[in-house]
Amino acid sequence: MKIWTLQKKRVGDWMAALRAAGKEVLAPCEADGLLRFRPIDDPSAIAVRPGPCPFPFKEWLFPPHQVLFSYQFEGGKVNLREEEVLVNDQVGLFLRPCDAAAIKILDTVFLSDPPDGFYQLRRSHLTIVTLGCRQAVPSCFCPAVGLSPTSLEGSDLFLWEEDDRFLVYGVSEKGDRLVQVSPDLFEPGEGPEPDQLPSPLPFMERKEPLTNVGQKLQGLFESDLWQEVGRTCLGCGICAYLCPTCHCFDIVDESDAYSGIRCRNWDCCAFPLFTLHASGHNPRPDQPSRYRQRVLHKFAYFLQTFQQNMCVGCGRCSLFCPVGMDIYQIVLQLTGRCLV
Amino acid sequence: MAAVRTDSERTEKGWEPKLIAFVCNWCTYAGADAAGTRRMLYSPCVRIIRFPCTGRIDPHFIVRAFEQGADGVLVSGCHPGDCHYVSGNLLARRRFAIFKALMDFLGLEPERLSFSWVSATEAGKWVEVVNSRVEALRKLGPARVPWGTLSGPPPSLNGRSVAPMPQEPLSQVKPDDYQAVESQLRQLAEGLLATGQVKAVLGYGKGSLQQATPIVITNATEANQLIFNEHCVQNLTVYLTSPSFRSLRPLGVVVKACDSKSLVGLLQEDQVKREDFRAIAVSCPGVKVNGRWADKCLSCDQRIGPIADHIVGSSEPKSTAGADPRDWEIQTIEKWAPAERWNFWMNQFSRCIRCYACRAVCPLCYCQPCIADKNRPQWIPTSPHLKGNVSWNLFRALHLAGRCIGCDECTRVCPVGIRLDLINRRLSLEVAKRFGYEPGKDPSVPPPLATYRPNDPGEFIL
Amino acid sequence: MKVRNDYLPDLVRIVAMTDETVDLRTLRLVFEDPSLRDRFSFLPGQFGQYSVFGVGEAVFTIASSPTRKGYIECSFKLMGKVTTALRDLEVGDLIGFRGPYGNGFPVETLKGRDLLIIGGGVGMAPLKSLIEFCLDNRRDFGEVTILNGARTVADLLYKKEMEEWGQQEGVRVIQTVDPGGETPEWRGKVGLIPNVLNELAPKPDGKFVVVCGPPIMIKFSLQVLDRLGFSPDRVITTMENKMKCGLGKCGRCNIGPVYVCKDGPVFTAADLARLPRDY
């Protein structure tokens, strides 16, 4: 792995060089009290806080609203028009290791056969620059899902803050090419292997493994425990929409007398409509059964299909849940390891 | 968005205003007919849609008209006292007063939305109203709706830094104020469970991440899990209508003074039976959101709300009540020009991701299914684009007008920080001003938009 | 830039429609693109996404047999938003179709076997495809017994087809209606399908059974078949979950780790026994 150093004060120059090379830089910044990844020019607008950015990077690969195609009605005929997707090369800057790992999970869904064209195009234009975590926040539980504040999963470049500079680890060729855009800003450097960096890992409290609970959870499918843990779920979509790995969507038409679109929008398994049949039958008739689906999909079913958990331990769902449902604690409770 | 005419198409040369008139069959339609038979000339820019009664005209029709490209909407019906169905127009008058207040607050230019009483004999008035409306629209130009793109950055409330709203009123609150309540609460809950007066107690417990989280206690021995402190912010009455709690009736529910008001709403609207719950009213000094006293607490003068079966702690009114910071922010917004307000709110709504957390935490959003989940007809586009988001947020604001008790849970949980509290509060103030009604007080009176008084103010009606 | 777009439907024209019952209609559809008419192939039991432009998409199985080229058929019951809009269309109108999706019936496994085909209500639609496929490849299959039921006589579908099938050699058609649904002229059986099945008590004898219908009928029919000694891997049924993408992405049709749209909709009773009861 190549290692460089980049002076913090030169990040702006690097961004300018990236822009000059036709790339759009997306970094967490604050607008009107809301932290989100946004295209930026000015490095002073970057707002990196400990822990992951509240709004995940997902929206740039899998937008909340995607027009799939449009159509016009013309005298008994329908003219379909394919949707053109314009994408610049994009650089996702200062993602956290959990967010980068989440993109690999989205990849397994959207790039597996048949690949999703919209995702594929955006993904192929994206380079991911991750910033290792020098500090964890109480909601973090990446060690529990086999990741860490310095894991390289999904990253193209990995940065580590050290005084007034970044150690820059070249993880992929795609990442190296970003360095090559302005090689004079990067000094060849030396550093420990990323897993030897002084990360907060030893001090993190939430690290009871959740990676091998699939069978146990599935065995509980009929259990009354779900009523107990899922009863207070209010059925909003915050957990799914702020989750960097949740990817369920709805497909709807919107039209007037002349034309229309078919689009796909984010959807969430906590909504009663999600599985409601036209006949009125609903396989998941209550909130606890919907919450069960969420937990099992993440820690059991996805594991069976794709050999990995669908959770990166970012803790957003638990932190932003209106009623404080903490998926880490709930899985531990279900698997009998700990009671609150 | 492909489905909607683009703004450039709408502003092409030869643009003529498009005025949609929703009229009642018995008066205004007949009046318009009379104008026709008398060969009176008036603007052809009006499109008339006939209804049995103005009472049938839902504000949602108006939202839909703007969404589909109307430049202005006129609602017209019988004069008070003339309604074919006795009181349809009087109910409509209340509804439209609130709708107009909402649209004014959001910054829709006031001339775009008009109301008039035109009787069957008032052909002349009809002509005059239509012509004057069309002329006003012509001056304004094409509507910014259907919620098109906006230029320039939106104005910012920035209120937090300059708000002249000191946080002192509650600085006297001490942890002891909660601790005494907490220990009494545990004793009470234990007793209620032990004697079988309730099947379960729904209260606050310590969360693993958040400082307080809703918990359900079914055994007297678990009563010591209940907590009460400044972090107990959730409004637990939302669970009373949840099917998952049906088997726990009668349920003891821990309520703060504000939460107790939503019990009034639920009783008023027949959503809960009085015997299905027991309100355990905890004496509340105030609660905090993100480390700051909640806005609602700063002006709150009660420790105990209107519905209280068991009172835990002091029921003395609070002497600390100050001004409401939400009101200051509302006043700030109202000082802006309509275009600025519109810009502000469209920017707010554009962020909505349609997680429906606002609906989920709201005790009074109990409809099953919610209108947003109905697809025949699809009143609210489900897509999280501006059109759908505006639709959703307007509908919800309207449905809560006169019902919202201001617990601000919707705003607390909104992951994109939309200031729903200001909209709800603004409509509450309007309801109070116009109809002298305050929600969450008396379960025996009808909700304000389900009733009328013959002399309700109608100054906005032409 | 244009991208691979599996959501883009092909246009199909309604060339004929048959009202099977008061709320159930069969459409015969022909691809607008002439090259697709011959090229389009599928297996009995596979399904498609049918779209009414401006309204949305709905999933129906392909009710015609792949052996009958040049057209496809679907039968749908008036239920929700899309089916209501679909019913408003007329012969000559255009709709969208994408597919085929799903695994389809294991016709290779069924070859050389006697078949017991049990269908209730609109569950007959995928079975019609299978039956026609068997009849068009008559020598590949053994005896075919069809047990068809509906709530009332008026709700029985494919009346004409049933009559034709019943006249073929090696095909036996048994029809039943729910108690109270019979008319004075009704000569078939009266009783719920699981009960009629119990009464008929067919012997397993290496037969394969295919069951389609409402969830409750499937549930009890599987119990009866189990009692009669049919091995669960020889009992085949179809699952019907809400679907959107049809491509195994949207996460809506999952039953445990299985995507009904991709791994189903056809499952054996043995498969189902391994899945969580989330349907």
State how far residue A237 is from chain C, nearest Cα, in angstroms: 15
Residue type, A70: S
Q: How many of the other CB atoms lie within 10 Å of CB of C19?
A: 11
* Structural domains present in chain C: 10-101 (2.40.30.10), 107-238 (3.40.50.80)
Answer whether residue B400 shows pLDDT above 80.
yes
Answer whether B383 sits within 8 Å of A230, measured CB to CB: no
Q: Which residues of A touch C53 (CB under 8 A)?
A: 71, 73, 78, 253, 255, 260
pLDDT for B3 beyond 80 = no
Partner B, chain C 80-119, Cβ-Cβ below 8 Å: 80-81, 84
Tell me whether A264 touches chain C (CB under 8 Å).
yes
Q: What is the pLDDT of residues C18-67, one digit of tens each?
A: 999 999 999 999 999 999 998 999 999 999 999 999 999 999 999 999 99
> What is the average pLDDT score of chain A?
94
What is the pLDDT, as a whole number, of residue B14?
81
Determine whether B56 is exposed, middle or buried from the number of CB atoms within 10 Å of its CB (0-12, 13-18, 19+). middle
- Cβ of A136: how many Cβ atoms within 10 Å? 22
Residue of C nearest to A289 (CA): C278
pLDDT score of B455 more than 80: yes
pLDDT-derived band at B166 (thresholds 50, 70, 90) equals low
Torsions phi, psi for C202 (to 5 deg): -65, 150
pLDDT at A32: 76
**Residues with Cβ within 8 Å of residue A36, at least 6 apart in sequence:** A28, A29, A53, A54, A55, A59
Identify the DSSP state of A115.
P
pLDDT of residue B68: 85
CA distance B7 to chain C (A): 22
Q: What is the DSSP string of B338-398?
A: HHHHHHHHHHHHHT-----HHHHH-TT---SS-GGG--TT--S--SSSHHHHHHHHHHHHH
Please tell me if residue A340 touches chain B, with a CB cutoff of 8 Å: yes
Nearest CA to CA, how far is C25 from chain A (Å)?
16
Q: What is the pLDDT of residue B145?
A: 56
Q: How confident is the model at residue B172 (pLDDT cuts 50, 70, 90)?
A: confident
Q: Which token pair is B161?
A: 């830094």
Average pLDDT over residues A17-33: 92
Rounded to whole angstroms, how far apart are CA atoms B89 and B99? 15
Is the pLDDT reported for residue A91 higher than 90?
A: yes
CA dihedral A146, A148, A150, A153 (to 10 degrees): 30
The burial class, CB within 10 Å (0-12 / 13-18 / 19+), for B318 is buried
Q: Does A115 touch chain C (CB under 8 A)?
A: yes
Chains that touch B (3 or more CB pairs under 8 A): A, C
Contact B386, B350 (CB under 8 A): yes
B39 touching C, CB under 8 A? no
Residue B4 has pLDDT above 70, yes or no: no
Average of per-residue pLDDT across A90-114: 96
| Inter-residue contact B162 to B331 (CB < 8 Å) | no
Q: Which two tokens stand for residue C27?
A: 């459409």
The pLDDT score that the predictor gives to residue B69 is 86
Averaged pLDDT, A77-106: 94
Q: Which residues contact B419 (CB under 8 A, 6 or more apart)?
A: B157, B329, B348, B411
Bridge partners (DSSP) listed for residue A90? A24, A126
Buried b (16+ CB within 10 A) or exposed e, B99-120: bbbbbbbbbbbeebbbbbbbbb
Q: Does C257 sit within 8 Å of A255, measured CB to CB?
A: no
Chains that touch A (3 or more CB pairs under 8 A): B, C
Residues 51-70 of A with CB under 8 A from B: 54-55, 64-65, 67, 70
CA distance C58 to chain A (A): 10
In contact, A111 and A123? CB cutoff 8 Å:
yes
Which residues of chain B make contact with C55, given a CB cutoff of 8 A? none
pLDDT at residue B165, as a whole number: 53
Give chain B's mean pLDDT: 90
B254 phi, psi to nearest 5 deg: -80, 125
pLDDT at residue B5 in the model: 44
C-alpha neighbours within 13 Å on the C-beta side of residue B224? 1
B382 touches C: beta carbon within 8 Å: no
Q: What is the pLDDT of residue C224?
A: 96
Q: How far is A168 from chain B (nearest CA, A)?
A: 33
CB proximity C89 to A under 8 Å: no
Neighbours of A108 (CB within 10 A): 16
Of A130, A157, A200, A151, the closest CA to residue A3 belongs to A157
Which residues does chain B have within 8 Å of residue A240's beta carbon, measured at their own beta carbons?
Answer: 355
For residues A326 and A116, the answer to whether their CB atoms sit within 8 Å is: no
Q: Do B167 and B293 contact (CB within 8 A), yes or no?
A: yes
Residue A84: pLDDT band with limits 50, 70, 90: confident
Looking at residue A257, its pLDDT comes to: 85
Q: How far, CA to CA in Å, does A292 sit from each of A242, A267, C276?
A: 18, 17, 11
Q: How many CA atoms lie within 13 A of B257 on its CB side?
A: 19
Instruction: Give this complex's ipTM.
Output: 0.93
Show which of residues 65-94 on chain B sit within 8 Å of chain C, judged by CB atoms. none
pLDDT, one tens digit per residue, over A164-175 is 999 999 999 999
Residues A127 and A121 sit within 8 Å (Cβ to Cβ): no
Q: How many CA atoms lie within 13 A of B134 on its CB side?
A: 19
Model confidence at B150: pLDDT above 80: no
* Among candidate residues B406, B353, B290, B297, the one with its CA nearest the CA of residue A319: B290
**Amino acid B161: pLDDT:** 39
- CA geometry: angle B456, B461, B462, nearest 5 deg: 145
Helices then strands, counting H and E runs in chain A, come out as 11, 12
pLDDT digits (tens, 9 = 90+) for B246-304: 999 999 999 999 999 999 999 999 999 999 999 999 999 999 998 888 999 988 989 99
Q: Is C263 helix (H, G, I), strand (E, B) or coil?
A: helix
Contacts of A260 in chain C (CB under 8 A): 53-54
- Find the mean pLDDT for residues B39-60: 95
Per residue in A232-278, pLDDT (tens digit) is 999 999 999 999 999 999 999 999 889 999 999 999 999 999 999 98
* Per-residue model confidence (pLDDT) at position B168: 62
Question: Residue B160: CB partners within 8 Å, gap ≥ 6?
Answer: none
Residue B456's pLDDT band (cuts 50, 70, 90): very high
> Lowest-confidence range among A262-266, B165-169, B219-223?
B165-169
Closest partner residue to A322 among B216, B361, B384, by Cβ? Answer: B361
Contact indicator for B148, B7 with CB cutoff of 8 Å: yes
- How are beta strands A126-131 and A89-95 bridged, if at all? parallel
- Is residue B376 less than 8 Å (CB to CB) from chain C? yes
CB–CB of C1 and A86 under 8 A? yes
**pLDDT given for residue B1 in this prediction:** 32
Contact call for C84 and B376, based on CB within 8 A: yes
Chain A nearest CA to C6, separation (Å): 8
pLDDT digits (tens, 9 = 90+) for C147-188: 999 999 999 999 999 999 999 999 999 999 999 999 999 999
DSSP letter at B295 equals: H
From CA B50, how far away is CA B64, in angstroms rounded?
16
What one-character DSSP code corresponds to residue B6?
-
- The CA radius of gyration of chain C, in Å to the nearest whole number, is 18
pLDDT score at B158: 62
CB C16 within 8 A of CB C28: yes
pLDDT value of position B160: 44
Residue for token pair 């791994």: C263
> In percent, how much of chain B has pLDDT > 70?
93
CA distance B156 to A142: 37
B interface test, pick of A65, A314, A318, A337 with most B CB neighbours within 10 Å = A65
Task: Specify whether the CB–CB gap between A81 and A130 falls below 8 A.
Answer: no
User: What is the Rg, in whole angstroms, of the alpha carbon atoms belonging to chain A?
Assistant: 22
